[in-house]
């Protein structure tokens, strides 16, 4: 075995490459075949610099002449290149078209993406994150690089305790916080702890979250949503209910104060659990953000938050604030799921929060998304009812014929969400609409995307 270069300018001290020349047809032929195969299957990437023939010969126990002859042959075949002063490198071979699975649908990336669910990842605060990462690594104890507490690093749990209390009105002692790899893992852990119980989930709501509950052994009960949010009066003997009270997804309504009270009263009277998904609670535009429901009944509400909408989904960092009686059970489920969430990102996020760079980033994003919301309303509001615009990263646009609108949008290279995809079951007579996300597009592309959407809606009007 010899070692492959870690980069185009490194020698064979990086990534391991199993190069086992077969000498049955001679050492030179065996070496040529082994190198040729390594280039073909991608173990030696285009541009990788190969070792000098003297070093390769010593590694493999062959003569330098044999190594040089093998290089010369592969240069002649076009697998390698050799230039004076830059050594021998792997050539760039023509890309082979991948075999197409005839059973798989052929999709084309949209020219404009107004689907909901993601923030503007181009606004990720890279410079602030790097500063936080450097400071965190410089001060982290050596044990931070070992296996850790399944609840997460105490630095991040302490930072979030302060942030959630002042920014979201969430009583969050560090010992009641569990760090997760995003919202989905938090929902999955809770479902396992509830051990197959029935869980009420908003209708309409995100289908994938329903799938997560079912996949982890829970039963899903639809809970209809109207202009006041989840219809809490429909709850009966479910073990738990999952709600998005600050900004319901996908309708965009805020849970009415009377229903907030009714929800906590149901939890106390029935011993039920309220799971609060606060996925974009920081982004409210026309007045101060609505405080989290958890502050009304900390012993009966599980608060789930995430950095996916504020920073970016790639970080895979979320948090749960749990009632005391659930902490140990959820921590044990986390331990047996993935032991603990990766540590370095936790330390960096803790530093970002403690330095208030996280607050500054959120304020900047709030201004950016409000401008986008205003542009959407200005462009579409005169011809369509646009709902759910007080907060969040998406709006619901009423249309009489959802299928026709989506088909027309796709023909124009525009991707949007469909309200119809979010109902628990198919059927006629339900409101129709387009779920329009305004977080995803880049700044320069967004106005043109709105123009395309406007033309689509104009066409529907005939």
Give the chain's domains with CATH numbers: 2-90 (1.10.10.10), 112-120+361-460 (3.90.1150.10), 124-359 (3.40.640.10)
CB 380 within 8 A of CB 160: no
Angstrom distance (rounded) from CA 216 to CA 409: 36
Distance CA(161)–CA(173), nearest Å, equals 6
Check whether the bond before 321 is cis (ω within 30° of 0).
no
Per-residue pLDDT tens over the stretch 228-256 = 999 999 999 999 999 999 999 999 999 99
**pLDDT, the chain, mean:** 89
pLDDT at residue 440 in the model: 86
**3 state SS for 252-312:** CCCCCHHHHHHHHHHHHHHCCEEEEECCCCCCECCCCCCCCHHHHCCCCEEEEEECCCCCC
The secondary structure of 58-113 as a DSSP string is HHHT--HHHHHHHHHHHHHHTSEEEETTTEEEE--PPPPPPPP-TTS------SEE
Q: pLDDT tens for residues 98-111?
A: 433 434 444 567 88
pLDDT tens digits along 272-320 = 999 999 988 889 898 777 789 999 999 999 999 999 999 999 999 999 9
Helix ranges, 355-412 (H): 357-380, 402-411
As a whole number of angstroms, the distance between CA 284 and CA 390 comes to 6
Is a pLDDT exceeding 50 seen at residue 81? yes
Query: Tell me, what's the pLDDT at 13?
Result: 41
Mean pLDDT of 7-27: 59
- Identify whether the C-beta of residue 387 lies closer than 8 Å to the C-beta of residue 373: no
276 phi and psi angles, rounded to 5 deg = -100, 115
């Amino acid at each position: 075995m010899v070692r492959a270069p870690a980069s185009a300018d490194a020698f064979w001290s990086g990534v391991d490459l199993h190069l086992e020349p077969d000498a049955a047809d001679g050492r030179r032929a065996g070496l040529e075949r082994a190198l040729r195969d390594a280039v073909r299957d991608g173990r030696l990437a285009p541009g990788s610099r190969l070792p000098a023939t003297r070093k390769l010969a010593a590694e493999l126990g062959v003569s330098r002449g044999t190594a040089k002859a093998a290089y010369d042959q592969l240069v002649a075949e076009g697998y390698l290149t050799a230039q004076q002063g830059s050594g021998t490198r792997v050539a760039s071979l023509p890309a082979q078209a991948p075999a197409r699975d005839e059973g798989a649908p052929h999709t084309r990336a949209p020219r404009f993406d107004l689907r909901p669910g993601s923030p503007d990842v181009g606004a990720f605060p890279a410079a602030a994150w790097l500063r936080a990462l450097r400071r965190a690594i410089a001060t982290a104890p050596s044990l931070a690089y070992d296996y850790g507490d399944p609840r997460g690093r105490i630095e991040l749990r302490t930072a979030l305790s302060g942030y959630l209390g002042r920014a979201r009105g969430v009583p969050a002692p560090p010992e009641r916080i569990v760090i997760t790899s995003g919202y989905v893992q938090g929902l999955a852990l809770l479902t396992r702890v509830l051990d197959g119980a029935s869980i009420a989930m908003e209708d309409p709501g995100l289908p994938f979250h329903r799938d997560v509950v079912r996949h982890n052994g829970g039963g899903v009960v639809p809970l209809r949503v109207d202009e006041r949010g989840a219809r809490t009066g429909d709850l009966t003997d479910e073990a738990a209910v999952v709600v998005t009270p600050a900004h319901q997804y996908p309708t965009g309504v805020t849970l009415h104060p009377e229903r907030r009270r009714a929800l906590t009263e149901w939890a106390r009277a029935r011993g039920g659990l309220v799971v609060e998904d606060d996925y974009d609670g920081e982004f409210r535009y026309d007045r101060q953000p609505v405080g989290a429901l958890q502050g009304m009944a900390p012993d009966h509400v599980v608060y789930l938050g995430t950095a996916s909408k504020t920073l970016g989904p790639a970080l895979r960092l979320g948090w749960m604030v749990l009632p005391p009686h659930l902490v140990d059970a959820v921590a044990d489920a986390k331990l047996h799921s993935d032991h603990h969430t990766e540590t370095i990102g936790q330390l960096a996020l803790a530093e970002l929060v403690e330095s208030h760079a996280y607050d500054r980033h959120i304020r900047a994003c709030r201004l950016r998304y409000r401008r986008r919301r205003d542009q959407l309303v200005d462009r579409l509001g005169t011809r369509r009812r646009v709902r759910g615009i007080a907060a969040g990263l998406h709006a619901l646009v009423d249309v009489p014929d959802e299928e026709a609108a989506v088909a027309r949008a796709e023909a124009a290279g525009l991707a949007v969400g469909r309200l119809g995809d979010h109902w628990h079951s198919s059927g006629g007579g339900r409101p129709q609409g387009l779920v329009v996300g305004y977080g995803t597009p880049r700044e320069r592309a967004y106005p043109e995307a709105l123009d395309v959407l406007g033309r689509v809606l104009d066409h529907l009007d005939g």
